[in-house]
Chains A and B, each alone.
Chain A
Amino acid sequence: MIAYIARRLLILPIILFGVSMLIFSMIMMLGPYQRLSTYINDPAQLKGAEDIDQLVSKYGLNDPWYEQYGRWIGGVLKGDFGWSESAGAPVTKAIADRFPATLELALLSLVPVIFGGIILGVLSAVHHNKALDHTIRIFAVIGWSFPSFVFGLIVLMIFYGVLGWLPPGRLSNWATEIVRSADFVSYTGMYILDGILNFNFSIVLDAIRHLIAPVITISILWWAFILRITRSNMLETLKKDYIRTARAKGLADNIVVYKHAVRNALIPVVTVAGQMVLGLAGGLVIVESIFNIRGLGQFMANAAQQLDYPGVLGGALYFGFLLILINLFVDVSYAVIDPRIRLE
């Protein structure tokens, strides 16, 4: 297994190089004046033609593509991923600043999404074609087909606009002040965890209060996905011979379902859950926008919109890294869930 993990990690730089080349070539298909829009938000900022050419030269936009790529990759090898114009910060700082918010939201969402989805999926399969199954399936269809921005806005309107219970953002103003004070140590940038580590439980509660609405939004929409996969796998597994044998042996239904069937039905769910982790850890543009969470989704969307190529490339490398890491984790999980699977 160690050799397998090492092999997978070794191909990481090659994949990241390929990803960066691909994105860079796409950006280079735009002319220098088009790429100047990264730095100029309004033509009124220009004094005239002379100013334009000076700007193009200042940022090296007219240099051959290999020089521009060389400059960027040279910086990356020294740990400098460039300056993100859209974030107004070095790329590494921009990602590092936003990573805790995204990770906190992702971690908090994963538990209800995965466990909720699995439980509902199993219940639906066990009560196949009964009232509970139909109800859950209707719920799944509604959840899956609901646009996230509509659902998010409804949640925000009810729980913040009307009730005032779940405000947007990551913390209230008073809590932000505490978190940014010298007395509060930021260990992870994740406010719930930092609040616990600082023994400041008012921060923990405030952070949870701000995360409930986005977590509900993500959960309702993504439950459906896990639920459907779990249900169909469970239905298939429950028809297998070894399940019939277990039942014939007189094992209790609960033991048959939860000890024998669920474990085998979970393997495809792990793959899907891996993709889900990737999606959540990469940031969710719409949820982040509606609930005013400064996360990686917003960063990537802004960078792409402004043709901020250091930002886009930095984000792509982060995604690439995450993708390989999560896939590796999923592969290892297969072996843990089903000992018959061997990693080679």
Chain B
Amino acid sequence: MQKRLIVILTVFLFITMTSMAGAQEVKNPGTFVEVNMGTIDSLDPHFQYDSASAEIIDNVYENLIKFDQGDITTFLPHLATEVPTVENGLIRDNNTTYEFPIRNDVVFHNGNKLTPEDVKYSFLRALIQDRDGGPVWMIYEPLFQKSSLSDVIFEVLEEEKNAKDLTAEESAEVYAYLEKAIEINGNSVIFHLPQPFPPFLSIIAQGNGLGAIVDKEWTIEQGDWDGQPETIAEYTNPTKEEDPLFGAMNGTGPYKFVEWVNGEEIVLDRHENYWREPASIKKVIIKMIDEWSTRKLMLQRGDADIVYVDKQYMSQIENMNGVEVITGLPNIYMGAGLMNYNIVTEGNPDVHSGKLDGNGVPSNFFSDIDVRKGFLYSMNYEAFVNDVLEGDGQQGRGPIPEPLLGYDEDSPTYELNLDKAEEHFKQAFNGELWEKGFEITILYNSGNDVRKSAADMLKYYVERINPKFNINVRGIQWASYLDKLIAQKFTLGFIAWGADYADPHNFVVPFVSSTGTYGGFKGEDYAEFAKENIDPLIEEAISLTDPEAREEIYREIQQISYENATDFYLYQPTAQVVMRDWVEGWYYDPIRDPGQYFYSLDK
């Protein structure tokens, strides 16, 4: 009996050892498997606005220019033959004209040849599509100093009108206005800007689907915008269901789209007629698997070459055999805490009594600069970075993250200082706050442990300052969290912003302008402050072409934000990547992160 047991165990051990050893060999040569979580939102380059979709777009479509291997300060030509500069004369007229000579040796995946007309059509299609909640505002700003098609309609027709309701005549008028910005001259496409806009090249560079070039003929065949001036109403602001490019792709990139099984995987094949050398990897499969254990085992077995790993699981793979972990990658991202200057108190349990009576907070609680400073001095930023982020990040120094223009590593920041916090709380509301105390609820979206930890930390320190100070921390569903933000019923809310393009303008506008995505949530008192103190600086900085002059203004904005304690600039995390050690050619691109550029990879 004992002998039989030993034999069985030996066989089991042998199989186990050989299985494990097998896992170390390069698996699936020629096929690259990436395992992510979540879903891909859309395959339409002008519709999508999420990182999972952007990764696919980035490998299938191409833009006029690109960054030099993740260096966000150096551009290289891509579908254009040259990067416009003042020196080569392709940027002229006081930096308002940008000329892009187009390559003539490029074919789309269906074999159609790339022409300047495709480039013009692509940008006009994006401008016309301009779906609500989409990314097209980014290109409206440099080309028209506006934020949407609605703004253009208002200027052209001098009345507010939904783009879906435009008549053919009105559509033609609006189209004429849009078309003036993009001109074809021989083999070049020329963009005319109303005033200099320094981030223009960053916005249209590879990595931002907004500047991706589609095949005009093929796109029309799919049932998309027919290229006619009179048909804007028919094609603007589509839903996913109405969008012909939602699930179809035809670009010039190194990989062509094969199949998308939504929620399961997307398959790309090498573009054999690519204008550069065809990619080394023949096939790319991106699988979407939400279960971490499954992703981990696939990595361990070598069935996945790169996997997405949440911060909390990093320790599980750090010493995994055959796996390379790269951490500390610079991430252009800012995690912040917004303080609502005018909380809507009606029907809002988070302000409790809604008055400064010791049992709640008034609507204008955070309008008092001493309250804001009291809170800012009550946060343990160091512990947050070291314990919550496990050292993978740094404290923010204002709305602008490293390494963008205006970021200064020597600029002042808030630190945990309960004496200073007490000093400010005592001055708040002319001493009334200190006397009466307050009770407030801070919300976070359930499941977001980073935000929960930040809120818990604030509660811990603020309540130590005065026993009459009470903070409740409550997790709510994402839907309710969004509702609170939109309805301006949040008291202090934690949010984050990742770079759409590599320029400080993309951070100061959302965080601190009076009408920004987050600035706009912070109430009327904040809007008034920003209109007077910040908006003019943002406008000035974006109109200048001298980087030094711009840098000075952005530093001033950082300083104003610090002095006025506008928000918590809590953390700028670092990024990480986890892959099999047989992966070659990987490089980090902070704009593309967490997506990969498979063209450079091999195994």
Contact = CB atoms under 8 A, between A and B. Distances in A.
* A and B found bound together: yes
A55 B480 CA distance: 17
> For this complex, into which size category does the number of interface residues on chain B fall?
35 or more
Interface centre among A35, A156, A163, A164 (most CB of B within 10 A): A164
B594 to A, nearest CB: 14
Interface string A60-94: 00000000000000000000000101111110001
Interface string A98-138: 00000000000000000000000000000000000000000
B100 interface: no
B482 A88 contact: no
Interface centre among B486, B497, B517, B520 (most CB of A within 10 A): B486
A164 B27 CA distance: 13
Interface centre among B261, B290, B478 (most CB of A within 10 A): B478
Contacts of B261: 97, 294
A47 B487 CA distance: 15
Interface stretch (B207-215, B298-306, B467-475, B583-591): B298-306
B241 A40 contact: no
A164 B49 contact: no
Contacts of A45: 49, 133
B19 A46 contact: no
Contact of A33 (B137, B263, B486): B486
A292 B291 contact: yes
Interface string A29-47: 0110111111111111111
A339 interface: no
Nearest to A46: B517
Interface string A275-301: 000000000000001111010001100
A153 B292 CA distance: 11
A291 B264 contact: no
B230 interface: no
Contact of B301 (A43, A44, A59, A164): A164
Interface centre among A43, A46, A90, A307 (most CB of B within 10 A): A43
Contacts of A145: none
Interface string B233-263: 0000101110000100000000000010111
A43 B482 contact: yes
Interface stretch (B33-41, B108-116, B362-370): B33-41
Contact of B485 (A30, A43, A54, A87): A43
Contacts of A289: 290-291, 294
Nearest to A158: B16
Given A36-B486, A58-B132, A164-B19, A290 B291 contact: yes
A178 to B, nearest CB: 13
Interface in B490-510: 495-498, 510
Contacts of A44: 495-498, 510, 517
Contacts of A48: 515-517, 520
Interface in B417-447: none
Given A36-B486, A45-B49, A160-B297, A51 B133 contact: yes
A52 interface: yes
A180 interface: yes
Interface string B289-328: 1110110011011010000000000000000000000000
B133 A39 contact: yes
A154 B425 CA distance: 54
A153 B518 CA distance: 41
A248 interface: no
A39 B486 CA distance: 14
Interface in A1-48: 30-31, 33-48
> For this complex, into which size category does the number of interface residues on chain A fall?
35 or more
A73 to B, nearest CB: 18
A130 B526 CA distance: 78
A35 B479 contact: yes
A88 B40 contact: yes
A162 interface: yes
Nearest to A48: B520
B194 interface: no
B86 interface: no
B15 interface: yes
Contacts of B176: none
A55 to B, nearest CB: 5
Contacts of A42: 50
A51 B485 CA distance: 14
B23 interface: yes
Contacts of A153: 293
A32 to B, nearest CB: 9
A156 B137 CA distance: 46
A51 B132 contact: yes
A173 B34 CA distance: 13
Nearest to A299: B263
Interface centre among A86, A162, A180, A298 (most CB of B within 10 A): A162
A161 B297 contact: yes
14 contacts: A35-B479, A39-B133, A40-B482, A43-B517, A47-B517, A51-B132, A88-B263, A156-B293, A160-B301, A162-B19, A164-B23, A290-B291, A291-B294, A299-B263
Nearest 10 CB-CB pairings of A with B:
A37-B479, A33-B483, A48-B520, A34-B479, A161-B297, A34-B483, A164-B19, A88-B262, A294-B264, A54-B132
Interface of B: 15-16, 19-20, 22-23, 28, 31, 33, 39-42, 49-50, 132-133, 137, 147-148, 150, 237, 239-241, 246, 259, 261-264, 285, 287, 289-291, 293-294, 297-298, 300-301, 303, 478-480, 482-483, 485-487, 495-498, 510, 515-518, 520-521
Given A33-B486, A42-B50, A43-B521, 9 more contacts: A34-B479, A34-B480, A34-B482, A36-B486, A46-B517, A49-B520, A162-B16, A162-B19, A173-B31
